[in-house]
Amino acid sequence: MTVNPAEDLTGNTIALVNIAGQNSACTQKLQVPVCVRGKISIEANPDKISALAGTNACFPITLRNRGADSAIVSLSSNTPTNASIIGSFNYPKIKLGAYEIRDDLRYCASVPSGSNAAYTFNLKAQSAINDAQADVFLDVLDSQNKISSSYGS
């Protein structure tokens, strides 16, 4: 017996099952409903931005549920080590419905005056379905609008 698609069934509502006996004349394909838990994902687009010191820098965030289960999702981030920069989500906890996509989320970092560095934030989405994470990169511009540090393309 084989199941198609053979890869991850997340998000699918049916699977094709091939049942074959010893005799090739006894082969049957059946459509079988599947109940697979979803998968939460988080992404920022763009994931690299620049900002001036003393301003707020915001990343647009997309949160997706690729399954039939709804979940409460808690959003958090790791603050860069030895940094005085603080970031937060506009909605730190939300209910994400079945197959729902939320693109009204933002992760904003308050860039302190006098700052002149590059920062990486690790964003986390935690739920009973699964945990997901994404990294975002912030370049702080100096007073002459020169990039202090840059990440690869």
- Summarised one tens digit per residue, pLDDT across range 14-59 is 777 777 777 767 777 777 766 555 699 999 999 999 999 889 999 9
Instruction: State how far Cα 6 lies from the chain centre.
Output: 24
Q: How far apart are CA 69 and CA 85, in angstroms?
A: 36
| pLDDT at res. 153 | 39
Where residue 86 falls among pLDDT bands split at 50, 70, 90? confident
- Residue 148: its pLDDT value, please? 46
% of the chain exceeding 70 in pLDDT: 78
Residue 84 has pLDDT above 90, yes or no: no
Strand partners, 42: 63
Which pLDDT score is estimated for 134? 96
* Mean pLDDT, residues 108-116 taken together: 86
Global pTM exceeds 0.85 = no
- Say if residues 139 and 151 touch (Cβ distance below 8 Å): yes
pLDDT (mean) for 66-79 = 91
